[in-house]
């Protein structure tokens, strides 16, 4: 598993395994990104930072192997190898890719174990983006919560840098194959551009077996909200097939202003549990901006591009905050199917009852 992070990375000789990750932003600044490869090793983990720069020889090899239209003298960061490796793995194993942005109070053990659970439950390949949530637990109370909100806001440019890189490599890795398919379609219908375009769409649909989606959980949605603020934010680009905003720890009020900036090829889901204990606790935090949370409020559901899904009454959800892993999905097959479709780029809203009066689907 690879993790993209703007956390500080400590000396791996003194801090082995997941202790490599600190709880503060990278000392070079919160926009500084690193990639770490994490491997399960017995009861623990091996964590190895990916080198910042590839050799020119390796960059040329990757360009040739994956038929990339890049200048290997300029595009030779470690992210190039990681992107190629992930796409190759997804294609060969016929698995979808999922970007996971975690929430408040998550240390790296939480992040990695949740990512592992998602992979095991849904068969996707998870690429976590980890920002410096303090992982201090509820004993730290309001101070820790507000500090994490500050760290989330400070991480918005790091998230945008990551998404911009993701978008760039996804385009480059699919470009050559698209050109091949267009050549085939055009060759079959040289005298009919309309038929060639239709055939191209058909070939593309049949050929593209890997979907790219994103899951933002809890305060990860607050981070995404702030990442959308810059005019040229990468988070506004058409990158994902599906985006799932789960248990969103962001204000319900005026959420449509930032949610409607998100683009997807298929669906944007907002999952709501009115009994979410963590969001009820979050709601009690001080501050003028701490209104009813988007992830537990069934009023004002007005974002035109979103499909709101209420899981409050779904069996086994109860007051859970994380209901896409653990007991809720283990005990409720319909809930697991819902998330399986959402996280794989599918149409998770199909077949659900629709409450037109509040613009919400119900499980």
Residue 231 has pLDDT above 90, yes or no: no
Residue 168 has pLDDT above 50, yes or no: yes
- 226-251: average pLDDT: 93
Q: Which of 268, 264, 271 is nearest to 310 (CA)?
A: 271
- 58-83: average pLDDT: 92
pLDDT > 90: percent of the chain = 71
**Model confidence band, residue 290 (pLDDT cutoffs 50, 70, 90):** low
Residues 6+ apart with CB under 8 A from 43: none
Q: Which of 130, 135, 147 is nearest to 106 (CA)?
A: 135
Put simply, whether the predicted model's pTM sits higher than 0.95 gets the answer no
Residue 136 has pLDDT above 80, yes or no: no
Residue 239 has pLDDT above 80, yes or no: yes
pLDDT of amino acid 224: 96
Alpha helices (H) along 36-139: 56-66, 78-93, 108-122
In a 10 Å sphere around its CB, with 0-12 CB exposed, 13-18 middle and 19+ buried, how is residue 142 labelled? exposed
Average pLDDT, the chain: 90
Domains in the chain: boundaries: 2-362
At 245 the three-state DSSP class reads: strand
pLDDT of amino acid 202: 79
Which residue reads 């239209």 in tokens? 69
- 320-326: average pLDDT: 96
pLDDT in tens, 2-56: 999 999 999 888 888 999 999 899 999 999 999 999 999 888 999 999 999 999 9
């Amino acid at each position: 598993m690879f993790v993209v992070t703007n956390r500080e990375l400590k000396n791996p000789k003194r801090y082995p395994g997941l202790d490599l990750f600190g709880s503060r932003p990278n000392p070079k600044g919160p926009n500084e990104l690193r990639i770490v490869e994490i491997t399960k090793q017995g009861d623990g983990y091996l964590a190895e930072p990916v080198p910042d720069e590839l050799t020119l020889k390796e960059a040329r090899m990757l360009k040739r192997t994956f038929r990339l239209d890049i200048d290997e003298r300029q595009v030779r960061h470690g992210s190039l190898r990681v992107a190629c490796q992930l796409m190759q793995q997804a294609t060969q194993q016929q698995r979808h890719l999922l970007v996971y942005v975690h929430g408040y109070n998550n240390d790296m053990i939480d992040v990695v174990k949740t990512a592992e659970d998602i992979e095991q439950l849904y068969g996707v390949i998870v690429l976590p983006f980890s920002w410096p949530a303090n992982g201090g637990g509820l004993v730290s109370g309001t101070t820790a919560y507000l500090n994490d909100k500050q760290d989330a806001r400070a991480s918005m440019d790091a998230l945008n840098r990551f998404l911009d890189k993701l978008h760039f490599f996804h385009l480059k890795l699919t470009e050559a194959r698209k050109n091949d398919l267009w050549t085939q379609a055009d060759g079959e219908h040289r005298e009919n551009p309309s038929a060639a375009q239709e055939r191209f769409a058909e070939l593309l649909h049949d050929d593209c077996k890997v979907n790219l989606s994103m899951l933002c959980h809890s305060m990860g949605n607050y981070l995404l909200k702030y990442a959308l603020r810059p005019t040229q934010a990468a988070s506004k680009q058409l990158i994902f097939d599906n985006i799932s905003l789960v248990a969103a720890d962001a204000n319900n009020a005026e959420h449509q202003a930032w949610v409607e900036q998100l683009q997807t090829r298929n669906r944007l889901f907002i999952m709501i549990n009115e009994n979410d204990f963590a969001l009820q606790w979050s709601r009690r935090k001080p501050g003028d901006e701490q209104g009813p949370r988007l992830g537990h409020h069934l009023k004002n559901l007005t974002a035109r591009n979103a499909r709101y899904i209420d899981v409050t009454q779904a069996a086994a959800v109860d007051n859970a905050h994380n209901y896409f892993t653990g007991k809720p999905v283990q005990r409720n097959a319909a809930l697991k199917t819902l998330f399986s479709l959402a996280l794989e780029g599918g149409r998770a809203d199909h077949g659900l009852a629709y409450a037109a009066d509040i613009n919400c689907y119900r499980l």
